[in-house]
Structure 1
Amino acid sequence: MKELKIKSIVLIIIINITLTSCNSTSISQINISTPIPKTSDYPKFSTVRSIIVGFLLVLITILIILGNGLVCVTIIFEKHLQTPTNYFVFSLAMADASLGILVLPFSIISTLSVKPWFLGNVFCNIWISLDVMLCTTSILTLFAISLDRWFAVTRPFIYLRLINHKRVFLFCTGFWIISIMFAFVPIFAGWNTEDGFVQNTREIDISNNVCIFEKNKVFVLIVSILTYFIPLAVMFALTMKVFKVTREQTKKIKKLEKMITNVTKTREAESIELKPLQIKRSKKNILSLSLRNIFKKNKLSQSNEHKATITLGSVVIAFLICWIPYFTVFTMRPFVSFNINYHLEEFFLWLGYANSSLNPFLYGFYNSQFRAGFANVLIHRWRKRN
């Protein structure tokens, strides 16, 4: 009996030790694979700085919403702006305006608040997915605008035959669907985390009211390469090609202008000297006038293409400057062990967001048609309503 009791006690002790060991191992694995930051890990601003930073972030958000909203309204009401290219512009403005309405208000709260996330883990993941989705849509649409300009300038006849409103609408719809799948599926399937769990849904996440965007190496590589570096490289190459072709076409137009001017002067001189033959010469003068009219139309069309190219170039350069700091840190972080100041990282992120506020100003500055459309919507239509 004593031996039986001793064996039972030993067995119970072994079981307890085993269970304790398993529990401690599982907890340590969770802590190692998915470190959960607490609110105290994120340094917040002082009261004065919070007011200043909050004012700037709210200002950026308002500019994004109003500016891109104005672009959308202008394209809807101004029929002459409803071109295939401007359908892409409309899609880009919709994505940027949606970013300002659906994402940035909560980003401001997250940046400035000293309290833990209070809107729940499900909404947190929806908010992060919307952020990824809308930024991806913007990048893909910018890529499409670059490709559109390249076709229009280098392959004008193919462009006129293939590109129409219906096809552009289908392209834009496809970009939105791809962005939704690219953003929501990985995050809600847990493909972006180290342990395969859906981010912000573990018990420790919920108890700490955490809302973080987790990123493993594979997810970072796929996102950064497919949605930033490859589109950016192609956009830059296409834009440089468009600039080169536009410059060559401008030189050819100037040469043609000189030739037509010289021919016109010669015809006028002959007309004055040979008065008996003035009737015969008038036919040649009519031909000269026709050439000049055709040239003026081509020159105007070329001027519009040149302005569109300059606008595209400025948009691509602004995109490059605003987003490259954030994506550099985003890509390097899982592979290189370095510490970056939290406020600096937030600045890089908001610098990327601020890019969405620049495009409406670039359209208005470089494109006279958009400038006139803005004025018509803001002034004339307002007067009609009043």
Structure 2
Amino acid sequence: LVKSVFLGFLSLLTVIMNILVLYAVKKERTLHTVGNLYIVSLSVADLIVGATVMPLNLVYLLEDEWRLGRVVCQFWLIMDYVASTASIFSLFILCLDRYRSVHEPLRYLKYRTRGRASIMISGAWLLSMTWIIPILGWRSFVQVDLKPEMENKCDTDFRFVTWFKVLTSVFNFYLPSLLMLWFYSRIYMAVRQNFRERERIINPTDSKEKNSDFDQYTLDQHYDSTDTVETNAPREPKSGKDSHSSHSVLRMTKRLRTTFTQSLNLSPSPSNAVTLKQTWQKFCAQSRQRIQSLQVHKEHKAAKQLGCIIAGFMMCWIPYFIVFMVMAFCQTCVHHDLHMFTIWLGYINSTLNPFIYPLCNENFKRVFKTILHINL
């Protein structure tokens, strides 16, 4: 009884929290970003797990046999395999998006649109839905040995087909997981490198008089880039402080550019020129520091959120896929209770994800507090 109440509570909590995530993204404009489209896809997959997969598995677990008929059995299997795979693929394309944003920001900015993100998400779900073919049509292609002891069980027709189970586990879990770990390691190293670069700019060791022309060119590039992002690119979520800071830098840059140009035209004397040159160089350094700090802070938040999601995903799903591979070669080598435990541990990942978003993202945290009327 305690086990059934606990698992039922997990299922309900999964549904409530993922609905809350979807409502928060819809309600709050600061969350209307390209990156959060992947979070929405992940949340939809987790919602399906909580609303359909977990309850039916709980019934099966309590009854110890399947009494709901073959049609409901196939529906449950489809929801289970499709939603779980869509969750993995959604996390994979989220990781790919973060990787490209960090490693080739200017080039990727042109392609990082809501339309292209929607195409990527649709592709992930279509690939996940290919599970429908073997679940419904395996008997149409392969002769299946219907054993009497399996009449009251709900399982796939390919449960004893070793090569198919190994192949699908490699392409659905092991390969995406290894790529995600590689992507994240590259993201982490890039963010660390950017942080060191920021420290070098804040504490320069080079002479202040060196490369004044380069200083002006650098600031011009930051000015043009910042203006483009604000007007054309999809908005990224930011806190009020970050938003105010970035706009302040832009306004201050515009004012000083105008003042500096006018002063050069009106004050040609050598003493004024030296003073203006020093002022310009000082402002160049300060502007680069502010812009670099904002960018590094934003990259750090995105990397932190992604790292938490990947860590939760790995901890929850690795035990299941290890057991899955063992059972592909030896059905009797894994105890039924251990198998069920790894299955539910994988489901719990759908419960954890909605808690990870606000813990690792200030915008989600603020919106959750507003919706739940929490004042801390």
Counterpart for residue 97 of structure 1: 47
Deviations 1:65-93 (A, max 9, x none): 12222211111111121111110111001
The higher relative CO (CA closer than 8 Å, separation ≥ 6) is in 2
| Length-normalised TM-score, structure 2 | 0.76
Contact 2:326 2:333 in 1 (8 A): no
Q: Which stretch shifts more, 239-248 or 369-378?
A: 369-378
Counterpart for residue 144 of structure 2: 196
1:105 Cα deviation (Å)?
Answer: 0.7
**Are 1:256 and 2:201 counterparts?**
yes
Deviations 1:312-332 (A, max 9, x none): 112112111111111111112
Counterpart for residue 227 of structure 1: 172
Contact 1:140 1:175 in 2 (8 A): yes
1:53 Cα deviation (Å)?
Answer: 1.1
SS at match of 1:379: coil
* Structure 1 residue identity aligned to 2:114: H
* Structure 2 residue identity aligned to 1:312: L
Correspondence 1:119-268 to 2 at 5 A: 119-181=68-130, 183-190=131-138, 195-196=143-144, 204=148, 208-214=151-157, 215=159, 216-259=161-204
CA distance in 1, matches of 2:179, 2:139: 27
Q: CA 1:260 to 1:156, structure 2 compared with 1: closer, same or farther past 3 Å?
A: farther
CA distance in 2, matches of 1:367, 1:260: 35
* Structure 2 residue identity aligned to 1:190: W
Counterpart for residue 283 of structure 2: 289
Correspondence 1:47-66 to 2 at 5 A: 51-66=1-16
Deviations 1:135-173 (A, max 9, x none): 000000111011111101111112101111100011111
Unpaired runs of at least 5, structure 1: 1-50, 265-275, 381-386
Counterpart for residue 333 of structure 1: 327
* Structure 1 residue identity aligned to 2:291: K
Contact 1:192 1:219 in 2 (8 A): no
SS at match of 2:156: coil
Q: CA 1:262 to 1:355, structure 2 compared with 1: closer, same or farther past 3 Å?
A: farther
Contact 1:191 1:219 in 2 (8 A): no
1:368 corresponds to which of 348, 359, 362: 362
1:249 Cα deviation (Å)?
Answer: 1.1
**Are 1:108 and 2:73 counterparts?**
no
Deviations 1:325-383 (A, max 9, x none): 11111112131364322111111110111111112222111111211122233339xxx
Counterpart for residue 309 of structure 2: 315
Counterpart for residue 229 of structure 2: none
* Structure 1 residue identity aligned to 2:38: F
CA distance in 1, matches of 2:108, 2:328: 43
Contact 1:117 1:209 in 2 (8 A): yes
Counterpart for residue 25 of structure 2: 75
1:192 Cα deviation (Å)?
Answer: 11
1:203 Cα deviation (Å)?
Answer: 9.6
1:277 Cα deviation (Å)?
Answer: 5.1
Q: CA 1:374 to 1:293, structure 2 compared with 1: closer, same or farther past 3 Å?
A: farther
Deviations 1:109-129 (A, max 9, x none): 111224x32221111011111
1:292 Cα deviation (Å)?
Answer: 1.7
1:259 Cα deviation (Å)?
Answer: 2.3
Q: CA 1:191 to 1:222, structure 2 compared with 1: closer, same or farther past 3 Å?
A: farther
Larger Rg: 1
CA distance in 2, matches of 1:78, 1:283: 45
CA distance in 2, matches of 1:108, 1:337: 22
Counterpart for residue 231 of structure 2: none
Q: CA RMSD in A?
A: 2.7
Contact 1:260 1:291 in 2 (8 A): no
CA distance in 1, matches of 2:25, 2:82: 23
CA distance in 2, matches of 1:239, 1:327: 21
CA distance in 2, matches of 1:331, 1:349: 13
SS at match of 2:297: helix
Q: CA 1:191 to 1:335, structure 2 compared with 1: closer, same or farther past 3 Å?
A: farther
1:219 Cα deviation (Å)?
Answer: 2.1
Contact 2:48 2:79 in 1 (8 A): no
Q: CA 1:112 to 1:261, structure 2 compared with 1: closer, same or farther past 3 Å?
A: farther
Counterpart for residue 259 of structure 2: none
* Structure 1 residue identity aligned to 2:275: R
Contact 1:260 1:288 in 2 (8 A): no
CA distance in 1, matches of 2:51, 2:331: 35
1:209 Cα deviation (Å)?
Answer: 3.6
1:205 Cα deviation (Å)?
Answer: 7.6
Q: CA 1:69 to 1:261, structure 2 compared with 1: closer, same or farther past 3 Å?
A: farther
Q: CA 1:56 to 1:262, structure 2 compared with 1: closer, same or farther past 3 Å?
A: farther
Contact 2:201 2:285 in 1 (8 A): no
Aligned pair count reads 312
Name segments (4+ residues, structure 1) moved above 4 Å: 191-194, 202-206, 260-264, 276-280
CA distance in 2, matches of 1:135, 1:158: 32
